[in-house]
């Protein structure tokens, strides 16, 4: 599903009995695209959003909602909708390609294996949602993306990476995962230490995990080089603050850092974020 740049705001409405959580979502968008048969990563995505002032939003009672409310409606954020790419392992296969700023996703579920969520450019907010995958499944280059109270579910794998920031210079690109949880996805057996918080797709990768609960699926080193012989770690900003759980302990990689104060949401989304149309403050 492709949403091009529009002249006005757009909201996609889902349906649920509990608008505060993804757990009861009753609307799912599903596809099976993969880079093996597509022109680029974006083209594999189940949902491709190229417009600003976008949300995915709530509809509290499926039975009472009008037929159009059960589908997708457009305004400036997305709530209570599941987006799935069912291709599985073996290729990049996106659930969401968020290719513009001023986008908000609330109580949504994003399901994939490799490259599940592409947060590519501009200010983006993901709140009280679920993101699932195994390889580089939160990734992108220039987005200033804030992830608030996200549940990150990792799939069965001998080694995996949650984030892959593609920031290549001192630009605005920034990922902050705040007050979230990391654990094995339901029904998946994941060895202790199998996952890393991130690796640098770009040489200036910038990712912070803060006030996040981590089970032992997270490796004691926390962070990983890009690849052997191509480390890309000289200029990275990989930081942590106030994380808890078995996965938050251990001797972290030398190119990462513990910080003494948390990153403020205004640092990522800008000082006027609260009044922005794409922001639903009730989820913060």
Catalytic (active-site) positions: 115, 136
Name beta bridge partners: 126: 105, 147
Q: What is the C-alpha to C-alpha distance for residues 134 and 158, in angstroms, rounded to an integer?
A: 10
Q: What is the C-alpha to C-alpha distance for residues 139 and 120, in angstroms, rounded to an integer?
A: 8
Q: How many other CB atoms are found less than 10 A from the CB of residue 73?
A: 17
Q: What is the C-alpha to C-alpha distance for residues 262 and 103, in angstroms, rounded to an integer?
A: 23
Please, are residues 151 and 170 in contact by the beta-carbon 8 Å criterion?
Answer: no
Question: Which of 97, 62, 71 minimizes the C-alpha distance to 11?
Answer: 71
Please, are residues 50 and 74 in contact by the beta-carbon 8 Å criterion?
Answer: no
Q: What is the C-alpha to C-alpha distance for residues 118 and 137, in angstroms, rounded to an integer?
A: 8
Q: What is the C-alpha to C-alpha distance for residues 213 and 171, in angstroms, rounded to an integer?
A: 29
Helices (H), 38-136: 67-70
Question: Which of 144, 143, 81, 86 minimizes the C-alpha distance to 116?
Answer: 86
Helix, strand or coil, per DSSP, at residue 150 = coil
Q: Count each helix (H run) and each strand (E run) in the chain, helices first.
A: 2, 24
Strands 206-210 and 174-178: parallel
């Amino acid at each position: 599903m492709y949403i091009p740049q529009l002249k006005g705001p757009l909201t996609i409405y889902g349906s649920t009995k509990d608008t505060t959580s993804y757990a009861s979502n009753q609307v799912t968008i599903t596809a099976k695209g993969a880079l093996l048969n597509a022109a680029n990563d974006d083209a594999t995505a189940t949902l491709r959003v190229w417009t600003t002032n976008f949300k995915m939003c709530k509809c509290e009672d499926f039975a009472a909602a009008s037929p159009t409310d059960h589908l997708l409606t457009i305004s400036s954020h997305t709530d209570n909708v599941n987006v799935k790419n069912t291709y599985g392992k073996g290729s990049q296969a996106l659930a969401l390609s968020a290719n513009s700023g001023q986008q908000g996703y609330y109580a949504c579920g994003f399901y994939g294996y490799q490259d599940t969520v592409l947060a590519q450019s501009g200010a983006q907010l993901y709140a009280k949602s679920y993101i699932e995958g195994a390889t580089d499944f939160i990734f992108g280059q220039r987005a200033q993306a804030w992830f608030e109270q996200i549940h990150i579910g990792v799939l069965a794998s001998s080694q995996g990476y949650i984030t892959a920031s593609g920031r290549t210079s001192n630009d605005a690109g920034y990922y902050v995962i705040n007050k979230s949880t990391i654990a094995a996805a339901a029904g998946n057996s994941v060895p202790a230490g199998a996952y890393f918080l991130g690796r640098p797709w770009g040489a200036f990768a910038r990712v912070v995990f803060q006030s996040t609960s981590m089970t032992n699926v997270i490796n004691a080193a926390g962070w990983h080089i890009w690849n052997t012989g191509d480390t890309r770690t000289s200029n990275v900003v990989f930081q942590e603050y106030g994380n808890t759980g078995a996965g938050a302990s251990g001797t972290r990689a030398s190119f990462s850092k513990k910080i003494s104060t948390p990153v403020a949401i205004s640092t990522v989304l800008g000082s006027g974020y609260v009044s922005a149309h794409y922001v639903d403050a009730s989820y913060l």
